[in-house]
Amino acid sequence: MTSPAGLTASLGRRRAYWHAAGCLTVLLGALYLVRRHWPAVETGAGQLAVADQGWLLTGAAAAVATWAASALAQQGAVVGRLPGPRLLAAQFAASAANHLLPAGIGAGAVNLRFLMRCGLPAGRAAGALAVKAAASAAVRLALIALLAPACPGLLRLPRVSPVAVAAAAGAAVLLALLLLTPWWARCRRALGAVLADIRALHARPARAAALWGGSLAFAALHALVLIAVTRAVGLPLAPLQVALLYLAASSAAALLPTPGGLGSLDAALALALSAAGTPGAGAASAVLGYRLLTVWLPLLPGLLVLGVLVRRKAL
């Protein structure tokens, strides 16, 4: 007879296999799209090689600032004071780990370990991550709602297919079944703990300002990276349009569990820029430049910082 621990481990392995299969499927699809549109990608890389260096440096500075914004938001999600330098280093390491594991698991694991090393119980640490994630999602939706009227016609609601309707109905049925299971009591307790943490944080104006200000700065700085890259390669889109396209594409890509949005965010950004009238080569150069500044250049240093934090038992 299988023990509870063995059953839990087996379920964990199955979830890992499904995550890996999903990531592989999305990445293979992205590689297929790259191969199919290789001339545009190659031309885009050439445009990026001769892009305006000043704008690229501006984008690089904005990319570096995103880690400070993430650290500010994480501090805002915790009532107690966190060690500043270690917090900033943890965000840098988390951004690198996030590009190796799907659906934010890498960043979540790094930040969870960091908060527990700072003395928070596991439940409180997980609650702080949930508060930060909820604030980030709320800020993105608010920015989309704010920018959409300023850019009329830029975003178009997709046609609802029968498959999407069936998926929504299936999700509703699963949610209804969840309410009838013992898991719902656990979910209610977890949600209650998160709401209690949110109330405690908003009772301290400094923490609330850090949470919402850091979340806003994080989204705005990532949009600024893409704006700077589009300026560097000479795309004719206005900054507000680029910001709105980034927010919409990144929100859509968050639904796909790929490491750091690799493949899903690239395809969503390229599709959004192309739908806004950008030539294929220009869209490819903008996406390549954005990824270069936010992923590929910081990846190795971020992994080195992660290794140092682990060796020093800061994680």
pLDDT digits (tens, 9 = 90+) for 185-220: 666 666 666 677 777 788 889 999 999 999 999 999
Could you tell me which residue, 263 or 65, shows the higher pLDDT? 65
C-alpha span between 127 and 114 (Å, rounded): 14
> Mean pLDDT, to the nearest integer, of 153-166?
61
C-alpha span between 221 and 140 (Å, rounded): 12
Looking at residue 149, its amino acid is: P
Sign of CA pseudo-dihedral 306, 217, 123, 107: negative
Q: Give residue 55's pLDDT band: very low, low, confident or very high (50, 70, 90).
A: very high
Terminal C-alpha separation, the chain? 36
| Closest to 287 measured CA to CA, from 270, 308, 271 | 270
| Burial group, residue 14, by CB count within 10 angstroms (0-12, 13-18, 19+) | exposed
CA angle 26, 27, 31 (to 5 degrees): 120
Q: Give residue 11's pLDDT band: very low, low, confident or very high (50, 70, 90).
A: very low
Kindly tell me if the per-residue pLDDT of 154 is higher than 50: yes
Q: Give residue 9's pLDDT band: very low, low, confident or very high (50, 70, 90).
A: very low
DSSP state of 102: B
Q: Are 286 and 55 in contact (CB under 8 A)?
A: no
Residue 172: C-alpha distances to residues 157, 160, 176, 185 (Å): 22, 17, 6, 18
Q: Are 189 and 127 in contact (CB under 8 A)?
A: no
C-alpha span between 207 and 72 (Å, rounded): 9
| Residue in the block written with tokens 């009227």 | 149
Summarised one tens digit per residue, pLDDT across range 102-133 is 556 778 889 999 999 999 888 888 889 988 99
Q: From the CB of residue 60, how many other CB atoms can be counted at a distance below 10 Å?
A: 18
> Mean pLDDT, to the nearest integer, of 31-49?
57
| Burial group, residue 151, by CB count within 10 angstroms (0-12, 13-18, 19+) | middle
**How many residues comprise the chain?**
315
| Closest to 286 measured CA to CA, from 43, 69, 36 | 43
Helix axes 205-232, 53-76, angle to 10 degrees: 160
Q: Are 45 and 288 in contact (CB under 8 A)?
A: yes
Upper half-sphere CA count for residue 309 (Cβ side, 13 Å) = 27
Summarised one tens digit per residue, pLDDT across range 134-143 is 899 999 999 9
Average pLDDT, the chain: 79
pLDDT at 28: 55
φ and ψ at residue 18, rounded to 5 degrees? -65, -40
Summarised one tens digit per residue, pLDDT across range 245-296 is 999 999 888 776 565 556 678 888 988 898 888 888 888 889 989 998 998 8
| Closest to 223 measured CA to CA, from 50, 231, 210 | 231
